[in-house]
Amino acid sequence: KAGVTQTPRYLIKTRGQQVTLSCSPISGHRSVSWYQQTPGQGLQFLFEYFSETQRNKGNFPGRFSGRQFSNSRSEMNVSTLELGDSALYLCASSTSVGGPHNEQFFGPGTRLTVL
């Protein structure tokens, strides 16, 4: 079974631009979560989608948005990029939401650099 894939793996943008990152979950997984990881910080939760609906949202500004398609693939978009948005963006998929034993499977991440 193929794992979680994220594209692109690396991205360089300049301040003010916008970016779209893509995530394809493991086949059969309907939940997709997005995280931001910066040096010295843990994974910061962005949002979680299940069956095309946003189920949870973290404390990020409205510049960060996402969506999920009917095939469970997900995209996240960051508009008006700032230098502080430079980070590793991780996507994780799971079979469902809301359970303690709901193991999340992570993709390798997209490394975004904002110049």
Partner 1 sequence: DQQVKQNSPSLSVQEGRISILNCDYTNSMFDYFLWYKKYPAEGPTFLISISSIKDKNEDGRFTVFLNKSAKHLSLHIVPSQPGDSAVYFCAASRMDSNYQLIWGAGTKLIIKP
Question: Which residues here bind partner 1, judged by CB under 8 A?
Answer: 4, 35, 40-45, 48, 55-56, 58, 90-92, 97-109
Nearer to partner 1, 7 or 18 (CB): 7
Instruction: Give the position of tokens 């193929």.
Output: 2
For residue 80, the minimal CB distance to partner 1 (Å) is 26
Closest CA to 26 of 74, 65, 64, 58: 74
Nearer to partner 1, 70 or 103 (CB): 103
**70 φψ region: left (φ > 0), alpha (ψ -120 to 50), beta (else):** alpha
For residue 44, the minimal CB distance to partner 1 (Å) is 8
Nearer to partner 1, 28 or 42 (CB): 42
Nearer to partner 1, 16 or 108 (CB): 108
Closest CA to 110 of 1, 2, 13, 42: 13
Return d(Cα 68, Cα 97) in angstroms, integer.
14
For residue 92, the minimal CB distance to partner 1 (Å) is 7
For residue 78, the minimal CB distance to partner 1 (Å) is 19
Return d(Cα 52, Cα 92) in angstroms, integer.
15
